[in-house]
Amino acid sequence: MITFTDALDSSRARVTDPKNITVEKIVGDALRLTDLHLELPNGRPLLDGDNASIAAGDRVAVIGPSGAGQTTLFRAIAGRWPFGRGRIEIPARARTMFLSPQPYLPIATLRAAVSYPAEEGTFPDSKIRDALRRVELYALADRLDQIDHWEKTLSDGEQQRLGLARALLHEPTWLFLDDATAALDEEAEQKAYTVLTEQLPHATVVSIAHRPSVARYHTRRWTLVPRGDGSAELEAA
C-alpha cells in the first residue's frame, strides 16, 4: 500500500533528482527547448517537446486539446515544474510575464491590484488610467484609491482585462498568455490583441489557444498532438 507520506517523499525525491528539467538563462534572444519531456509527479509521461525554439519578436499560438499539457509547459518555462527531463534556455535579458485565466487580485486599492506584482506607487496614476482605458475598463479609471475584494467585485472578463492592463504597465519583452482572454467575446479578444500589438510591438507573445480565434493573432504555432498513451507530442511550425 502506498501512503500519502510515501507519495510525498517520492515527489520530493523527483524534485531533487539531477535528471529533472533545468531552466537556464543564457546570452542570446531565443527561447529553446532541448530534449524536453514533461511528466506528472507520479512519473507518467505528459508531453514530449523534444527540440523547439521561439525567436525574440515571434508570436506563437500553443494549440491542442484541453489537458494536453499546455499550462504545464508554461509552468516548466517559468521554472515551476521540475517533473521530467530536458533543458529550457531563456534569454537572460528577457522580462517575462505570465497571465493566467484568473489573475491574482490582492485585497487592496485598485492601484495596487493593477500594479501587482510591482509595489503600489511604482507607476504614475496617469499611466495606470491610460492602461485601464486601453483595455476598456473605463469605469475603473477613476477608482484607483478604492480598496475592495476585486476578485469578487469584478467579472471574469473584467479580471482578464485588468491582467492585460498589467502587461501594458510592466511592458514585458516575453508575454505568456494562458487562456488569458478566454472570458472575452471574440470582438473584445480581437481588440485586446490589437492593443497588445500596438503597445508592445517588440514583445514576444506566446498564447495558449483553446479556441480557434486566438490562433489568428499569431504567426507561428506549437501544436500538442495527443498520443495513444495519454501523453502528447509538441510539433513546432
pLDDT for residue 19: 66
How confident is the prediction for the chain on average, in pLDDT? Answer: 91
Q: Which pLDDT tens digit goes with each residue over 5-28?
A: 434 344 444 444 546 999 999 999
**Are 17 and 203 spatial neighbours (Cβ–Cβ below 8 Å)?**
no
Beta bridge partners, 207, equal: 61, 177
pLDDT for residue 110: 98
3-state secondary structure of 61: strand
In the predicted structure, residue 74 carries a pLDDT above the cut 70: yes
Gap between the Cα atoms of 158 and 222, Å rounded: 28
Gap between the Cα atoms of 96 and 156, Å rounded: 23
The superfamily (CATH) of domain 98-215 is P-loop containing nucleotide triphosphate hydrolases (3.40.50.300)
Q: Which pLDDT tens digit goes with each residue over 85-105?
A: 999 999 999 999 999 999 999
Q: What is the mean pLDDT of residues 47-70?
A: 93
Name the residue ranges covered by the structural domains of the chain. 98-215
- The pLDDT-based confidence of 152 (bands split at 50, 70, 90) is very high
In the predicted structure, residue 177 carries a pLDDT above the cut 90: yes
3-state secondary structure of 42: coil
User: Rounded to the nearest 5°, which phi and psi values hold at 164?
Assistant: -65, -35
Place of cell 472578463: 157
Q: Which pLDDT tens digit goes with each residue over 189-228?
A: 999 999 999 999 999 999 998 888 899 999 999 999 999 8
* Closest residue by Cα to residue 114 from 93, 96, 135, 95: 135
Kindly state the helix (H) or strand (E) to which residue 90 belongs, with its residue range.
strand 84-91
pTM of the model: 0.90
Please name the amino acid found at residue 105.
L
